[in-house]
Amino acid sequence: MSSIAYELTSEEQTLPGVDDAEIASLESKKFAVLKEIFGFDHFRPGQEEVVDTLLSGQSALAVMPTGAGKSLCFQVPALAMQGLTVVVSPLVALMQDQVAALRLAGVAADAIHSNQDRQANVEAWYRVASGETRILYMAPERLMTPRMLSALSQLPISLFAIDEAHCMSQWGPAFRPEYAALGELSQRFPSVPIAAMTATADEATRKDIERQLFAGPYRTFVSGFDRPNITLNVAAKASWKQQLLDYVSRRKGQCGIVYCLSRKKSEESAEILMANGINATAYHAGLDPEQRQARQNRFVTEEDLVVTATIAFGMGIDKPDVRYVFHTDLPGSVEAYYQEIGRAGRDGQPADAMMVFGAGDIRLRRQFIEQEDTDDDHRRREISRLNALVSYAEAQGCRRQALLAYFGDDSEPCGNCDNCLNPVVLIDGQDDAELVFGAIIETGQRYGQAHIVDVLRGAETEKVLQARHDRLQSHGSGARHSKAEWQAIIRQMIAGGFLEIDIAGYSSLLITDKGNALSRGNGSFSYRADTLQPLKRRNVSKSGDSAFGRAQPSVDLSGQDRDLLAQLKRMRLDLAKQRGVPAYVIFPDKTLVDMAQRRPTSREEFSEVKGVGKNKLEQFGDIFMDVVRNAS
């Protein structure tokens, strides 16, 4: 991962409260924290620059891909400096998991949130006020209250960290207004640096975060967005249940995530898969904490589990061998899509991303935006983000080029997306567009896609006959195309900006200015014929070669090492259940893989395993070494 740092404020600007001697002291402390607490000898690419910026007293915005180690970028400075670090996190489950992981590493961490009873929150606050707690997690709604801000102002705060910082720009005031209010922190605590962390932020979102959050000196770090091992695929939505089943069945035995728009759909998807012999489970916010934790543990431990989930699933979970991500519905933005597909293939091996969508998805997403209680400016930005994702979905060239271009990265055609592997054949759609325009105009621009298609095909439905649209000149004018073909044409006209969906007008199709210009002969329209045949499963050899080129190298364990790894995972799960935490909080997979290879049998050898700090050596060293000895 390459890291590019942009200096955005004057280097001559005075940094409050940090002198050269203190910076030198912190420089040595950061490596001690990295090794003794987290068990690593070196920073990963892109991490150290962010850590150094925060230690120098400057704020930092870090845009780093999923799995690049963003949390370490603020946790190391938090423990190298004196005082309290306050971390703002959007999800209670994520807070709980991160606090559990820090405590196991020997860090005094706490969370104050609504899922705890009042007494637990009071006790946590006493630890914070006494100086015992070093890192405190809170939701923005809890932090941005006058009472909490006043209480924190009496404490030695060394750092604020905003996790999932893109929420400041992309979540509307009606949903999480306190995220927008986080901009007050730099005014109330002018000498305290702020770390803003996110995996997904285009240039407009980055500027928005910078404008809202930073008042003093800061730097922005943007790491490369490309994930070349993920094959990008999009298909028109026909029967999503059958499409999902076909796709997952061809990958039986692989771990995958299926993203759904609603809790109900995630449950329905899991039931469909399980009924057809797929190891699957649903995950969403409607489950009680014990169910969520149990299903998280299954996901980390079982190599063939498919999780059907709402968007909350996957944040902060270390699962390197997810082989695919399937979207049954259109996400809300390119950023959301990128973050969700980024949970696949974190081991560098070939992985797939598949999304099915139709005009109904566009209508539903537009409806969500229009119904949101927010200002017009935010609504326009969200519509723009949605339009960008629809354009990506309807891309006629390389998808990776389109995706990376959105984030400001240049790329050659990738050879690893559906459009590169099966180049699109374009059809001149000028005459078809004129027929669509004619049907919309003759019906008074008051009807949605389904009715317009019926009119074009000459259908005599009750609705067509009742409105006397069987007498229109456009009735039957498009009989040469099937219903699915007309749906594809209209959807691509929407994506191209020739038509728009009038949410306020019962989802009727309207002709845009661009569409009117096209009908006057200004511009052109070509469309791609949709192919709904299932994609062939690719063959991946043990060496990592595939039809799409060589993936990044991965660890090739021997048969004995694989057996040992399975035993280590079982022990990890037992320990996690005893402590009531997700399995990956004990040790991530990459630590167990290193353990299986090194086969440590002494404390000195165990301390050299990647990700084993001093506290985890004390807690777990003898337990896991016994597993190694018994397997030898």
Domains observed in the chain: 3-223 (3.40.50.300), 230-421 (3.40.50.300), 426-528 (1.10.10.10), 559-631 (1.10.150.80)
In sequence order, what are the residues at sequence separation of 6 or more whose Cβ sits closer than 8 angstroms to the Cβ of residue 296? 283, 317, 582, 583
Mean pLDDT of the chain: 85
- Higher pLDDT residue, 310 or 626? 626
Residue type, 41: D
Confidence bin at 2 (pLDDT 50/70/90) = very low
Confidence bin at 92 (pLDDT 50/70/90) = confident
| pLDDT average, residue stretch 320-336 | 90
How many angstroms separate the CA atoms of 100 and 610, rounded? Answer: 19
Most confident of 4-18, 280-294, 322-336, 550-564: 322-336
Confidence bin at 51 (pLDDT 50/70/90) = very high
DSSP type of residue 417: B
pLDDT over threshold 60, residue 560? yes
How many angstroms separate the CA atoms of 64 and 104, rounded? Answer: 25
Tens-place pLDDT, residues 134-146: 999 998 889 999 9
Tens-place pLDDT, residues 569-602: 999 989 988 988 888 889 988 899 999 999 999 9
pLDDT over threshold 60, residue 14? no
Single out the residue of 481, 498, 488, 487 nearest to residue 528, CA to CA: 488
Q: Are 354 and 325 in contact (CB under 8 A)?
A: yes
Confidence bin at 16 (pLDDT 50/70/90) = very low
pLDDT over threshold 60, residue 7? no
Instruction: Report the percentage of the chain scoring pLDDT > 70.
Output: 89
Q: Are 278 and 249 in contact (CB under 8 A)?
A: yes
- Higher pLDDT residue, 561 or 359? 561
Q: Phi and psi (nearest 5°) for 599? A: 50, 60
Of the CA atoms within 13 Å of residue 174, those in its CB half-sphere come to: 11
| pLDDT average, residue stretch 74-92 | 92
pTM over the 0.85 mark:
no
Residue-by-residue DSSP string for 544-580: SEETTEEPPP-----HHHHHHHHHHHHHHHHHHHHHT
Provide, for the chain, the percentages of residues in helix, strand and coil under a 3-state DSSP scheme, each rounded to the nearest 5: 45, 15, 40
